[in-house]
Copies of this chain bind each other. A is one copy, B any other.
Amino acid sequence: MTHAAVLEAARALLVEGGVGALTMRALACRLNVTPNTLYSHVESKTQLLDDLLDDLLAAVAVPRLDDPDPLGAIAGLMASTYAVLTAHPDLVPVFLERQGARGPNAVRLGELMDGLLEREGVRGRAGVDARRVLIVHTIGFAALTTSSLGSGEPKPPSGAASRRNFMRSLGWLLAGIAADPGAVSTPGRARTRKL
């Protein structure tokens, strides 16, 4: 009975029955313990979910910061993130509810992205905006990839079709970001008091 065992059982519950099935009581039952025992290994259910989230992000394949093609590297990074998220669709709503993960892996990915964007000449305010756009697009697509979204089309598109659609629109966004770096490229006093 360890922290890791709890996480693993939680993941199993999530896969088998979705978020609704992940209950401290069900979790305890699966581990053959009483519910309160879990609190010796997990601070709270919220913390447990955060741990699951960050574990998920650990599976994202990260490009090298010095990749010769920064824009392509970013595309690959987002594609990998998308793949990881859609592979575990049950966690995505949790992700949204938390307003984005804040664990060490999330931070690492964010910094890597900033580095790659900077190599494209996108930094400062523009960098923050660009990261936001890309993350919204990726998480949003992952979150809504299995729904029919409004009228008609009762049959949601296949996973492969969704992925193609994701990559295509991701390309549009990257093109826009690259075409308009809009960066205040001179750091220092020039941008100190600009909001």
User: A residues engaging B (CB < 8 A)?
Assistant: 93, 96-97, 99-102, 106-111, 113-114, 128-129, 131-133, 135-137, 139-141, 143-144, 146-153, 157-158, 161, 165, 168-169, 171-173, 175-177, 180, 195
Contact = CB atoms under 8 A, between A and B. Distances in A.
A109 B150 contact: yes
9 contacts: A110-B151, A110-B152, A114-B151, A128-B153, A129-B161, A136-B141, A140-B143, A158-B195, A161-B195
* Copies, count: 2
Contacts of A132: 144, 149, 157, 165
B97 A149 contact: no
Contact of A176 (B110, B133, B149, B172): B172
A110 B150 contact: yes
Contact of A146 (B99, B101, B146, B168): B99
Q: Which of A149, A157, A180 has the most CB of B within 10 A?
A: A149
Contacts of A108: 151
A168 B157 contact: no
Given A97-B97, A107-B150, A137-B137, 7 more contacts: A100-B149, A108-B151, A113-B150, A132-B157, A135-B144, A168-B176, A169-B176
Nearest to A128: B153
Contacts of A133: 165, 169
